[in-house]
Amino acid sequence: MTMSYRPLSLAVLLLTSILSTACLNRPEVRSEGSRELSAETQLGSVAVFPFNGHYGDMLASRISYELLQRGYGIIPQERVRAALAAEDLGTGELYAGDGHARIMEVAGKLGADTVIVGTVTARERADNQLTQVADQFRAAAPLKVKKARAEFLRVTDGTTLAAATFQGDREYGVFTPNYRDAARGLVEAVFGE
């Protein structure tokens, strides 16, 4: 009888890669502009609009969650989606032409003081075979973020309060960043955490 060590070898390689992931750098996340927001910054009521790109509504929901966990007043995603539907605005219309003005108009109707908008680019699948195998065991594996950018805008005048970019286009060990990682990274970058 011949034994195959391939499954055991793959398991050892996978475990080694997982353990080494803790020693590797995280995705690049940076705050843009001249200042970060402090944790005490009064954002007022915050509306997070769907981001332009693959699963942009999912990233908006994750950012809403991250801000809610930090104690900010978030307008529920259901209300944001309903307001956009009432105006017959899809994500494509929001980010094209005069979309900025329409975003501010809808945010004002929602009673928001701050609106968060942005873009997201997804990575459909991992580049290497080991990461593809590991992704089968990670929740939301197919939803990988290559790049995301968020802008925090004051609704009254459209001023950019803060902006951040999440660069997750490199693989780290066996995992690539997902939407939860991107949302957390963007919020932490904006607040300098």
108-158 per-position pLDDT tens digit: 999 999 999 999 987 665 555 555 565 565 554 446 788 899 999 999 998
Give the global pTM: 0.74
Q: Where are the domains of the chain?
A: 6-190
The CA distance from 67 to 49, in Å, is 14
Dihedral of alpha carbons 64, 68, 72, 78, sign: positive
- Written as six digits, the tokens of 177 are 């960043």
77-89 per-position pLDDT tens digit: 999 999 999 999 8
pLDDT at 65 over 80: yes
Q: Provide the CATH topology of domain 6-190.
A: Rossmann fold (3.40.50)
8 Å CB contact between 85 and 93: no
